[in-house]
């Protein structure tokens, strides 16, 4: 059996530059990953089997088209390799801006590639990822990178591994498509080399749908030792980077509210 961690993705900055004729949006984003994630276990089997366990399993109950099974089906079409039993231990909130489903799909592709001796940088693997979703190629690469296009054109950059991070999700699921639909169409300019100087252009439309995001951001920004507080992706999860582990732990002990998912972690390499 193989175990893969599907690390949560953060958009340290997310600039929406234009709406495209195909309905997607032209982005400039700085992808980063944190140490927490879902856990995926894969083993060869007589017949395909899939089950979801863990604290957020219920949120996916009854969904036929899980991104994990879709990724496994696409892998089999391209590379063969027979049937697998897959367990997804769901720790990340669903539809929350930290790419849980995308990370799961990418982890599935990585695990199956390992089983069947496919190189992790095989372009066919990236082609599958690209068709599964805009965030899946970034999750397949799994390291700090600048993303352009709809997020699939990736250029690795030096990250800030080890930086303490606090994540807060206020328990409201937000639809990515709806947030993009509410984008005001104004281009506020390119992403600079410094993410701290950047923005998340989806914050305003996400706050229209879930005003509690404003409360989360205020709470994070008010903590001692914060160097950056921002929403990730299309929300509603927000993150804060801290100057020390102590400051992060101290903040984590203060921000808890009923219904809020609060997790202390670090940026991954």
Ligand X SMILES: C[C@](O)(CO)[C@H](O)COP(=O)(O)OP(=O)(O)OC[C@H]1O[C@@H](n2ccc(N)nc2=O)[C@H](O)[C@@H]1O
User: Catalytic annotation on 135?
Assistant: yes
Residue 100 touching ligand ATP (CB under 6 A):
yes
Q: Which residues are known binding-site members for ATP?
A: 93-103
Question: Which residues in the 34-93 window bind ligand X by CB under 6 A?
Answer: none
Residue 163 touching ligand ATP (CB under 6 A):
no
Residue 177 touching ligand X (CB under 6 A):
yes
Residue 67 touching ligand ATP (CB under 6 A):
yes
Choosing from 6, 8, 10, 11, the residue that interacts with ligand X (CB under 6 A) is: 11
| 195 interface partner picked from ligand X, ligand ATP, none, CB below 5 to 8 A per type | none
User: CB 177 → ligand X: shortest distance, Å?
Assistant: 4
Residue 133 touching ligand X (CB under 6 A):
yes
Q: What is the dihedral of CA 58, 64, 68, 73, to 10 degrees?
A: 160
Choosing from 137, 147, 198, 233, the residue that interacts with ligand ATP (CB under 6 A) is: 233
User: Catalytic annotation on 22?
Assistant: no
Stretch that binds ligand ATP, among 101-109, 187-195, 211-219, 223-231 (CB under 6 A): 101-109
Catalytic hit among 65, 135, 184, 194 = 135
Residues forming the site for ligand ATP (CB under 6 A) = 60, 63, 66-68, 88, 94-102, 104, 135, 176, 233-234
Q: Hey, which residues are catalytic here? A: 9, 135
């Amino acid at each position: 059996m193989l175990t893969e961690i599907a690390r949560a993705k953060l958009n340290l900055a997310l600039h929406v530059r234009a709406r495209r004729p195909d309905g997607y949006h032209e982005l400039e984003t700085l992808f980063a990953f944190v140490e927490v994630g879902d856990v995926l276990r894969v083993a060869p089997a007589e017949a395909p089997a899939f089950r979801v366990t863990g604290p957020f399993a219920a949120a996916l109950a009854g969904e036929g088209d899980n991104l994990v099974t879709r990724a496994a089906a696409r892998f089999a079409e391209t590379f063969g390799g027979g049937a697998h039993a897959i367990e997804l231990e769901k720790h990340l909130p669903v539809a929350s801006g930290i790419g849980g489903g995308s990370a799961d799909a990418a982890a599935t592709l990585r695990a199956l590639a390992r089983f069947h001796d496919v190189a992790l940088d095989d372009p066919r693997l990236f082609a599958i990822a690209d068709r599964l979703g805009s965030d899946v190629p970034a999750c397949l690469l799994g390291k700090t990178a600048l993303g352009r296009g709809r997020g699939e054109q990736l250029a690795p950059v030096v990250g800030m591994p080890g930086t303490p991070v606090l994540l807060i999700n206020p328990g409201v699921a937000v639809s990515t498509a709806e947030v993009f639909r509410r984008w005001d169409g104004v281009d506020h300019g390119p992403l600079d080399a410094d993410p701290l100087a950047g923005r998340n252009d989806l914050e305003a439309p996400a706050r229209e749908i879930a005003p509690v995001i404003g409360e989360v951001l205020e709470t994070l920004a008010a903590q001692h030792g914060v160097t950056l507080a921002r929403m990730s992706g299309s929300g509603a999860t927000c993150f804060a980077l801290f100057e020390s582990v102590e400051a992060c732990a101290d903040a984590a002990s203060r921000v808890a509210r009923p219904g809020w998912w609060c997790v202390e972690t670090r940026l991954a390499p």
